[in-house]
Structure 1
Amino acid sequence: MDTRSQNVDVPGDLGARVRHRRTALGLSTSEVAQRTGMSTRRIERIETRPVILTGGELVRLSRALDTTITELFAPLQHQWTRRTALTPEPVLEPMRRDECVKLIESGGVARIAYNRAGDLTVIPVNYCYVNDLIIFRTAADSAVAQFDLAPIAFELDRVDEGMHDGWSVLVNGMVRPATNEEIESALNRVEPWAGGTRETYVAIEPHRISGRRIRSW
């Protein structure tokens, strides 16, 4: 079957890779648009947000950037990450609270850090974000399930080692058992990967949300 006519759900990090490759080649968005037969606005949209592309668009884009579709999706090769005059130094930027919340809202896997018997404990959790609360499930006899209004830190990040890009979001707040209403809102939205019975819902009330982003373009 010819996949060029099919739509492909493209992850948001492809845009950063396209921009990185375009910059390394010294091309403008209008030049890439001309090479692909797309509009400049379309190229700019691909570089700045998740999009759905056709297979044909992916083929034209890879050819325009003198690369392959596999390389656009796979970790960058070493020659892409060498610093050149066309590759700016990485920049560390603080993120606004609304940017951080947008990243948290997607759910998934993050880490929590809390004090357990005088030691700092860090564990991964599956979570969802509901009504300004971070909610996850755990075993009823777990240490974190016993906490009520105790301080906790929540950390979420994403890193592209090939491009030296990434971001990190940190939430400081209080952890407590979720209420029945909160449990109802979170039903079917968070599923722990770990085995065993994990039917205790725990909520984090954020007091401070901050984040940083590092860009190499």
Structure 2
Amino acid sequence: MTDQPSSYAAPAHPAGDLGRRIARRRTELVLSREEVAARAGMATTFLRYLEEQPAASPGTAVLLRLAGALETTVKHLAGGDVELPPGLGRAARAPHVTELTEAECRALLSTHGVGRLAVATAPDGPGPVIVPVNYSVLDGAIVLRTAPGGTPAQAAGRQVAFEVDHIDEAFSQGWSVLVRGPARAVTDPAVTARLAERAYSEPWAGGRREQWLLIEPAVVSGRRITV
């Protein structure tokens, strides 16, 4: 097959940007390499090459086939939309909105690592602040690390709102989950040690972020838009 690279005996290398996007989208769709390769009409070994070799640079025809197999766009696979906010595509002709059950909301919430925290400011302040944060779900609660004095740290002792979502640009569909409840700072050294051991999401911002914040979901709601 013409898609097969001339040599594929080398061990796997860290994936480049294209490879990571292909693998991530394949994971989102819960598809194996074999299934995606069959959809795209290419050898499984070639798909593995594209995912694992940073120097891989397929032509437009291959990208088009991959985009179709992965139900996305060439622009997304190529990283052309990384600096753009999600949701710029047109709405679908016949969207269908459904309310998610609490169980569905909690299941979706537990799959994510980035959410938006809404924090109320002082009564005489300019208004609420919304910031993106990396988070984990442990024992049903939302936990995250922040810097003492940072915006998320101001949520301690207050009622907050926390939102996560996913948008499929290619099909103009997606879902969102909204959590409301009290937030509190975690100060017990034994508890913070346990959180540090079990949490799977590290703050992307880096730095010394040693303040743990825990949000107890009191009200959980969500919606899904499908075509």
**Partner-residue secondary structure (3-state), 2:72:** coil
* Shift, 1:116, TM fit: 1.1
Using the aligned pairs only, state the percent identity: 32
Q: Deviations over 1:163-214 (max 9, x none)?
A: 1110000000011012535423321523111133210000001100110000
Change (3 A) 1:157 1:147: closer
Change (3 A) 1:2 1:104: same
Q: Does 1:52 align with 2:61?
A: no
Preserved CA contact (<8 Å) 2:146 2:213: yes
**Partner-residue secondary structure (3-state), 1:206:** coil
Q: Does 1:69 align with 2:74?
A: no
* Shift, 1:157, TM fit: 0.3
Q: Does 1:103 align with 2:119?
A: no
**In structure 1, C-alpha distance between the alignment counterparts of 2:39 and 2:71, rounded to whole Å:** 15
Aligned counterpart for 2:132 among listed residues 98, 115, 124 = 124
Aligned to 1:204: 215
Preserved CA contact (<8 Å) 1:135 1:202: yes
Q: Deviations over 1:20-68 (max 9, x none)?
A: xxxxxxxxxxxxxxxxxxxxxxxxxxxxxx24342xx3232234xxx71
Aligned counterpart for 1:11 among listed residues 19, 22, 27 = 27
Change (3 A) 1:200 1:173: same
Preserved CA contact (<8 Å) 2:119 2:154: no
**In structure 2, C-alpha distance between the alignment counterparts of 1:131 and 1:71, rounded to whole Å:** 39
Aligned to 1:31: none
AA at the equivalent of 2:214: A
Aligned to 2:167: 159
Preserved CA contact (<8 Å) 2:67 2:74: no
Aligned to 2:94: 89
> RMSD of the alignment, in Å?
3.1
Aligned length: 168
Aligned counterpart for 1:149 among listed residues 121, 142, 157 = 157
* Shift, 1:100, TM fit: 0.8
More divergent stretch after superposition (207-216 vs 114-123): 114-123
Kindly indicate which of the two structures has a greater share of residues assigned to strand.
Answer: 1
**Partner-residue secondary structure (3-state), 1:194:** coil
Change (3 A) 1:123 1:143: closer
